[in-house]
Amino acid sequence: MARQDRRLGRWMVLPLILLLVAVQGYPMAFAVYISAHDYRLTALNEVRWVGLEQYRGLLGNPSYWTAMRNTLVFVFGAVGLELLLGFLLAYLLWRPAPAQNLFRAILLTPMFVTPIAIGLMFRFLLNDQLGIIPAWLRTIGVEIDWFGPNLALFSLILIDVWQWTPLMVLLLLAGLEALPVEPFEAARVDGASELQMIRYLVLPLIRPVMLAAILIRMLDAFRVFEYVYAITRGGPGERTETILFHIYRVGFLYFRLGEAAAMAITLAGVIFVLVVLLFRILRRQEAIA
């Protein structure tokens, strides 16, 4: 009976698997296929096999490396800040306080706005001619060129932090609330200070949740596109050209889909390696703990 059930179960997931192959497997396989061809939308009758030529071309393509570097700076900068701020806020919201739910709801609002709208909003808020933020800063004598060559990438990181720290708070808060009460009571009885409790109890206990939160945000941050598209278009120079924006440029503005596909596949590789590394680190720390 059980075996029959299992066999029936296999048959029942088959449609789902077929669907996944059709909508995910096929495009991915096709991306691999065109990355091995000179595939340009404006010259579809000249498509030819080039093997690994596209990938070799990327090695000597400075724009590609700049975009990759910018993306990594963006991901680590944004996720790092979000983790720090998110943890602090979650920790503050953890204890019961009056109107606690109201605070939480307000804190989560930035997440509900679509990123392209956020991008446009900050483009005007930080605009040197029209923006209210530079205008306020000027009244106290501070002149900051938010989208100048030195700050542009950092400004984009700040915008991401503004929008996505709430997600971090949400996830970490859920983790904190699921923690057992007993260790904390015991620690309090033993006279542990607040910092000691964070260091020796909270952090080790919510590490799995933290890892999940970092992973979710990291994968998301790699896809940064809207802020770049709405605000800087990759400029000044190539200071904010992120890899996804670069792929978009090559694929949909220059129509060289083969090269764009090759870049996308290397990006998938980089993300894959990072995810594996992150899991490794977590495992090892768990083993030590």
Interacting residues toward other proteins by CB under 8 A: 41-43, 128-130, 143, 145, 147-149, 232-239, 249, 252-255
Q: How far is the CB of 252 from other proteins (least distance, A)?
A: 5
Q: How far is the CB of 38 from other proteins (least distance, A)?
A: 9
If the CB atoms of residues 200 and 254 are measured against other proteins, the closer one turns out to be 254
Q: How far is the CB of 266 from other proteins (least distance, A)?
A: 20
What is the spatial distance between Cα 60 and Cα 95, in angstroms, rounded to a whole number?
Answer: 54
If the CB atoms of residues 140 and 289 are measured against other proteins, the closer one turns out to be 140
Q: How many residues does the chain have?
A: 289
Q: How far is the CB of 58 from other proteins (least distance, A)?
A: 14
Question: Closest by alpha carbon to 177, among 94, 264, 98?
Answer: 94
Q: How far is the CB of 205 from other proteins (least distance, A)?
A: 46
For 74-87, b/e burial (b = at least 16 CB within 10 A) is: bbebbbebbbebbb
Helix, strand, coil percentages in the chain from 3-state DSSP, rounded to 5: 80, 0, 20
If the CB atoms of residues 38 and 220 are measured against other proteins, the closer one turns out to be 38
User: Contact, 70 vs 240, CB < 8 A?
Assistant: yes
Phi, psi of 40 (to 5 degrees): -115, 135
If the CB atoms of residues 217 and 239 are measured against other proteins, the closer one turns out to be 239
Question: Which amino acid, 131?
Answer: G
If the CB atoms of residues 27 and 148 are measured against other proteins, the closer one turns out to be 148
